[in-house]
Amino acid sequence: MRCPYCQHDKTSVIETRESDETIRRRRKCAHCHSRFTTYETARAPGLIVQDPLGSRRDFTQAWLAGALVVAGANLPGSALKKVAANVEAELKTRGNGVVSVVEVASTAVRELVQARTRSAARAALPTAEQVGAVLDAGFTASRQASEQLPLPIER
Ligand SMILES: [Zn+2]
- What spacing in Å lies between the alpha carbon of 18 and ligand 1's midpoint? 24
The pTM for the full model equals 0.62
- What spacing in Å lies between the alpha carbon of 9 and ligand 1's midpoint? 8
- Measured on CA atoms in the order 35, 21, 96, 138, is the torsion positive or negative? negative
What is the rounded distance in angstroms from the CA atom of residue 122 to the CA atom of residue 66? 20
The pLDDT of residue 154: 54
Decide the pairing of beta strands 35-41 and 98-100: unpaired
- What spacing in Å lies between the alpha carbon of 38 and ligand 1's midpoint? 14
Over the stretch 114-138, which tens digit does the pLDDT of each residue have? Answer: 999 887 777 889 999 999 999 988 7
Q: Which residues contact 100 (CB under 8 A, 6 or more apart)?
A: 49, 50, 51, 52
**What are the residues facing 15 on neighbouring strands?**
26
Share of the chain above pLDDT 70, in %: 86
What is the rounded distance in angstroms from the CA atom of residue 109 to the CA atom of residue 106? 5
Over the stretch 79-88, which tens digit does the pLDDT of each residue have? Answer: 999 999 999 9
- What spacing in Å lies between the alpha carbon of 8 and ligand 1's midpoint? 5
Q: What angle do CA 154, 92, 78 make, to 5 degrees?
A: 100
Over the stretch 42-100, which tens digit does the pLDDT of each residue have? Answer: 766 789 999 888 888 989 999 999 999 999 998 889 999 999 999 999 998 876 789 99
- What spacing in Å lies between the alpha carbon of 23 and ligand 1's midpoint? 22
